[in-house]
Amino acid sequence: MKIGIVNDMPLAVEALKRVIALEPSFQVIWVAGTGAEAVERCASQRPEVVLMDLLMPVMDGVEATRRIMAETPCAIVVVSGDVAGQTGRVFDAMGHGALDVVGTPVLGPGDIREAAAPLLRKIRNVGWLIGRYDPTRGAPPPAAGLGPSAPATRLVAIGASAGGPAALAELLKELPADFPAAIVLVQHVDAHFAAGMATWIDAQTVLPVRLAVDGEVPRVGTVLLAGTDDHLHLRPDGRLCYTHEPAAALYRPSIDVFFQDLASHWRGEAVGVLLTGMGRDGAQGLKAMRERGFLTIAQDRASSAVYGMPKAAAEIDAAAEIRPLREIATRLMNCLPTLRAPAPRGY
């Protein structure tokens, strides 16, 4: 895979080059020291993956990501030496289409493979997603509180990937404090960054947003975010849990996994929503929800930062409705009071 590095720190660039050199199928084709240079480089020699720093002179990584995705789209992974301190910038970049975030590898003396593993895993994941990395070549696979509200009989499940954080914030901030359903979010984001994402979204909505806890029941008026590198499941008893299986799923957590569980186990009313993102995760699960009789909604092309997952859902007729992002919150508020749960199957 052809990789571009965007970073103005020589030591960081050297560390990234050493890590990438560990994988023979990866090739650094250029290094840009500013965001403006990165935009130019992508236009003249488009890479398959861009490793984007955020703090740079002339044009920062957020604006560079926006420009690249608008002009010469390619897969972008944010690589920052201070992920926790750059929460707002990271989610701004993801809102413009960056796929993921990882810390800049810190290389010490001796074998660098342990420090290199997180970044290599991110690049491999992106490669599999865009069809440019073949796992059969022998490379290692990806590494693997209850509120006062009542247990929910209505649940809205929302899946998102690239561009998802900003889309989720925009959707959720339109929902009222007395929204009559539980909400569960499955966003493709590294577990180390999930807590920061929950806090960031929580600050923009009147609904409380926090990480889902193993064993809890979704509750009315509470937004739960999948928060580990395992898959979030819904058990037949209505409780949430995290498990490693299915181990073969590319993204952890998988949207398909949670949507399929809803179709199999949820006993009340439900709505499935699939937002912006690259790839196909969520499409089959959304179809299962529709076949069960639940309302299913996919974001439209015009309002999606990356029209991959919603497009995949539309292609297989998984979405009963395709709507711009600005309409989805209103649709949820209008439909939930009148929805009727499908007949239970085998309960």
Catalytic residue among 60, 100, 230, 281: 281
Sign of torsion over alpha carbons 85, 306, 277, 224: positive
Give the separation between CA 237 and CA 257, rounded to whole angstroms. 17
Active site residue 161: yes
Taking the C-alpha atoms of 50, 56, 62 and 66 in order, what is their torsion angle to the nearest 10 degrees?
A: -60
Give the separation between CA 291 and CA 310, rounded to whole angstroms. 17
Question: How does DSSP assign 103-128, residue by residue?
Answer: EPP---SS--HHHHHHHHHHHHHHHH
Catalytic residue among 53, 92, 161, 231: 161
Residues pairing with 5 in the sheet? 31, 51
| Cis amide prior to 246 (ω within 30 degrees) | yes
Catalytic residue among 80, 96, 188, 300: 188
3-class secondary structure, 199: helix
The catalytic residues are 161, 188, 281
